[in-house]
Amino acid sequence: MSRWWLVLVFIACQRDRRPSELPGAEPFEADVATAIAANKGDAKFANRLILERSPYLLQHAHNPVDWRPWGPEALAAAKRLNRPILLSIGYSTCHWCHVMERESFEDVEVATAINRTFIAIKVDREERPDLDRSYMAAVQRMTGSGGWPLTVFLLPDGKPFFGGTYFPPRDGDRGKGLLSIIAELGKAYREDPEELAKHASALIAELDRPPPRGDVPGASAITAAVDELERSFDGVWGGWGRAPKFPRPSVIELLLHHHRRTGDAKSLEMATVTLDRIAAGGIRDHVGGGFHRYTVDDKWRVPHFEKMLYDNAQLASIYLAAYQVTGRDDYAAIARDTLDYLAREMRDPANGFYAASDADSEGHEGSYFVWTTSEIERLAGADAAIVREVFDLTVGGNFERGTNLLWRPKSVAEVAERLRTSPAEIEQALARVVPKLRAARDKRVKPFVDKKILIAWNALAISAFAQAGLILDDQAYKDLARSTAEAVLSKMTDGLAHAIVDGVATGKGYLDDHAFLVAALLDLHEAVPDPKWLQRAIAWQTTQDKAFADPAGGYALSSGSHEKLQITDR
C-alpha cells in the first residue's frame, strides 16, 4: 500500500471525527461545534444536547434532529428564524419515548423535515415539572388525554397551538404520521400564522382562568369522594376504571383514613381488595421486589416495566398503613420487600435514591423480567410444578415472544388445593426458588437506571423508611431514613434545589419538593426523636409559605423565582 493511500485514509478518519451537519438544520455556532467535536466520539450525528447532564436529554444527543435544550437561546432562535417550535417532553425510562425516538427521531427523513420546519426542543419532565404540567394541561384540553412522550407544537413565543403524545413516523393504521403533521402545521404557519396565534391565545386564556375559590372542603367532600370511588370500583380485580390501571396510592390512603375515622367497611374493602390484587399482579416484581409503574390491562397482569422511585416509596407507605389498620403480616412483608429493593438496587451511596429504572433492556421491553418455562424448570428443579402453578406459567409463554411474566392470579390456598399439598409447602417452595431466580436474573443485562436524585421523590422515600422504622421497630430502616435526609440536606447550601445530578444540586425547588421534604422531616422526627428534624421542618415550611403561598388561599406550584411560563403553573 502506498504512503499516499495511508494519507488519504488518515484524512478520511479525521473527517469522520468532525461533527456531522444535521440534515436540514442551521449550522452550529462555532463554540457549540467545537464542544460537540470534543464530545462526539464515533457517533454519526451529534446535537446540542450532548452538552447537557440530564440522562434523558443525553439519550437524544446523537439523533439527527437538531435538538436544543429549553432555554433563552432556543426561544430566541425561534423568534430570530421565525419558526414554530416542536417541543418534546419525556423521561429517560419511558418506553414509548424510546419507541418514538427509534421510529422518528433517528429517521433522517423525519429529522430533516423537523429541522427545516421547526426549532426542536427536548425537555426532561423530571427536571422541569413546571413545563411538563403546563404543556400537559394544554394537550389534555386540546385532545382530552395526555401522557409521554408529550409532543407539543408552539408559536415562537411559546404558546401551544397543537399537540398530542406518541405519533408514528408515517401515516398508517396507527394514525396520522409525524411527517404529515409536520407538513400540515408548517404550511399553516407559513400561510396563516395569525389564525394559529388566535387559537393559541384562546387556549391560554381558557387555561389561565382563576380556579374557583371557596371554603375549605369539609367531611362532606370526603364522603362524596368515597361515594364516587365506590361507583367506579372494580370489585373483582380492584382499582378504579378500565385499563390502563395505575396503583393510585393517594386514593387508597384516603380510603384507609376514611375507614379509620368512620368505620366504613366498604372503604376498607376497596383498599384491601386493590392492595391484594396489586401485590399478586404482574405489576409487582415477584423476584426482585418493588412495583412497576402501571399495567396495560385491568387485571394488573401486564405492566409497563419501568420502576419509579415515587411509586415504590408511596406504595411501601400504603402497605404499612394497611398493616396498621388490618394487622395482616403479609402487608408488612410487602412493605419490607419494596423497601429492601430500593435499598439494594436504587440507593446512591452518597446522595439518596435514584429516580427510576427503565422498562427496556437489550432492545426489548421487559426482557430483564420475563422467563421461559425451560429456564424456570431448570432453576426450580423439584419445585417446578409449584412455581408453574403459582405464577401461571405456560409452555408457550403467557407474554410475548414465548416468554412468561410472573403473576399470581390464584391464592396460596387455591394452589395448594389444586396440587394436593399444603399452603406451608407452597410457601417453602417459593422461599427456595425465588432467591435462585434473583441470582440468575442478576446475571442478565440490567435496565438503564436514571441516577438523578430528585428531592421530592427522595423525601417520599425518607418518609417510607422512617415510617417502616417506627411501625416495624427496625433500626436499619430508621438509619436509612436519617442518612438519606442528611445526605440530601447537605447539598442544600443555597436554598432548596429540585435535584442532585452528579453530586451537584441543580434547579430551584418547586412546591412538591418543599412539601414532601417537610412531611419527611416530620416523619423522621417521629421515628428518630431529635429536635433538629422538627426545627428543619419548621424552617422549610416557613420558606414554602413565603415562596409559594397564594394570598387568596392555597399554594402555587412554582414560585416567583421560577421562569414565568405562557401557561400559569398552578
Query: pLDDT of 11-36, one tens digit each?
Result: 334 333 344 578 888 888 888 888 88
Q: How far apart are CA 490 and CA 505, in angstroms?
A: 10
For residue 89, the number of C-alpha atoms closer than 13 Å in the C-beta half-sphere is 28
What pLDDT score was predicted for residue 482? 98
Looking at residues 43-59, what average pLDDT do you find? Answer: 94
182-209 pLDDT per residue, tens: 999 999 999 999 999 999 999 999 988 8
DSSP state of 105: I
254-289 pLDDT per residue, tens: 999 999 999 999 999 999 999 999 999 999 999 999
pLDDT band at 233 (very low <50, low <70, confident <90, very high): very high
441-472 pLDDT per residue, tens: 999 999 999 999 999 999 999 999 999 999 99
In Å, what is the CA distance from 446 to each residue of 19, 55, 304, 363, 366?
31, 16, 16, 11, 10
What pLDDT score was predicted for residue 570? 57
84-94 pLDDT per residue, tens: 999 999 999 99
96-132 pLDDT per residue, tens: 999 999 999 999 999 999 999 999 999 999 999 999 9
487-501 pLDDT per residue, tens: 999 999 999 999 999
Return the amino acid letter for 321.
A
Q: How far apart are CA 321 and CA 548, in angstroms?
A: 30
pLDDT band at 7 (very low <50, low <70, confident <90, very high): very low
Q: How far apart are CA 63 and CA 85, in angstroms?
A: 17
Looking at residues 542-557, what average pLDDT do you find? Answer: 92
Task: Say whether pLDDT at 212 is over 80.
Answer: no
309-367 pLDDT per residue, tens: 999 999 999 999 999 999 999 999 999 999 999 999 999 988 899 999 999 998 889 99
**What are 380's three cell numbers?**
426450580
Between 540 and 210, where is the model more confident? Answer: 540
Label the pairing between strands 352-353 and 504-508.
unpaired
What pLDDT score was predicted for residue 424? 97
Looking at residues 213-242, what average pLDDT do you find? Answer: 91
What pLDDT score was predicted for residue 28? 87
**Do residues 466 and 520 make contact, with C-beta atoms less than 8 angstroms apart?**
yes
DSSP H/E element including 161: strand 160-164
Looking at residues 427-452, what average pLDDT do you find? Answer: 97
